[in-house]
Amino acid sequence: MRQYDERSLIVHPQVTNDPGVIVSVDCENAGWQTIDFQVRSLAKGQQWKSASTGKETALVVLSGTISVNSDQGNWKSIGERSSVFSGLPYALYLPLESHYEILADTDSEFAIATVPATKKFPAQLITPADVHVEVRGGDHATRQINDIIPPGFPCEHLVVVEVYTPAGNWSSYPPHKHDNRKVAPDGSLLEADLDEIYYYKIDRPEGYALQRVYTGTDSPLALAGKGFDAALVLHNDDIALVPEGYHPVSSPPGYTAYYLNVLAGSDQVLTSHDDPDFAWVKDSYRSIDPRLPIYPIK
């Protein structure tokens, strides 16, 4: 098993031989067998081709408008927001063994997440009208969740959501984890085993978010003597890896943090376990932050 720390849990944007890549991480670099993830940019008129050999794919338009031609179907003019802070997303689910080409109708950014799959499901376009928006938590732990590929979506492993944490608030709170699959005597799932990507955008370029990632006593890495407790500082276009452990997020005053979550693992669910030291906080909430939902952000 791999040993994780602050440095190995953050992936920063880097200059690569592919000028279209903003930030990227694959299974080998992450130390898991589930999620490959990258964010790409295309200038208006540019094209990019790929294939999902043995993997199912989620394509999320972060900004701009793209068209997709594939052997699973063709979709024109996907996307309408100027940034992740200006509206709900468009996304596309593509099954394994898809071949596709993306054309930028405008200057665009999009995220591509792929995970191993064995079952083939129909390709599906997700529009803003399909995205369920939930305001979750309370007080300074109020946040907004946009469900893109939620549990129950017709796919094998992928779960994809967007989360907005307003200035001064916390999300993924109380701290929760999903790293040790547990089933109740009645057969119901108590906790899934999921790996997770956090891809960050901050509404001002100098901004940042803070994230703590730490293993619980029953996490597999902790049981193997490789537990960790890491404090991460995340800026625009950074990726935080959550292979195991609890993983709360804080957004400093004056800044709204966005992150795109991609999860995959034992089950196509979000079933998690709260840190028992902090679970009591849920019973203390008195109100919902009136700043949410955040659309449109001016």
Q: Which residues contact 50 (CB under 8 A, 6 or more apart)?
A: 99, 100, 102, 112
Q: Which residues contact 18 (CB under 8 A, 6 or more apart)?
A: none
Neighbours of 104 (CB within 10 A): 23
The whole-number pLDDT of residue 296 equals 52
Task: Please tell me whether residue 137 adopts helix, strand or coil conformation.
Answer: coil
Nearest alpha carbon to residue 32 among 13, 54, 4: 4
What's the CA gap between 224 and 227, in Å, rounded? 8
Neighbours of 74 (CB within 10 A): 11
Bridge partners of residue 291, in order along the sequence: none
CB-count burial class (<10 Å; 0-12, 13-18, 19+) for 143: buried
Domains of the chain with CATH codes: 10-284 (2.60.120.10)
pTM above 0.85, yes or no: yes
Helix (H) or strand (E) holding 62: strand 55-63
Q: Residue 185 to residues 139, 141, 190, 191, 264: CA-CA distances in angstroms?
A: 35, 32, 10, 13, 24
| Predicted confidence (pLDDT) per residue in 34-88, tens digit | 999 999 999 999 999 999 999 999 999 999 999 999 999 999 999 999 999 999 9
CB-CB contact of 203 with 255 (8 Å): yes
Nearest alpha carbon to residue 195 among 26, 6, 20, 5: 26
Tell me: pLDDT of 297 over 50: no
Angle (CA) 136-138-140 rounded to 5° is 115
What's the CA gap between 275 and 173, in Å, rounded? 9
| Predicted confidence (pLDDT) per residue in 89-120, tens digit | 999 999 999 999 999 999 999 999 999 999 99
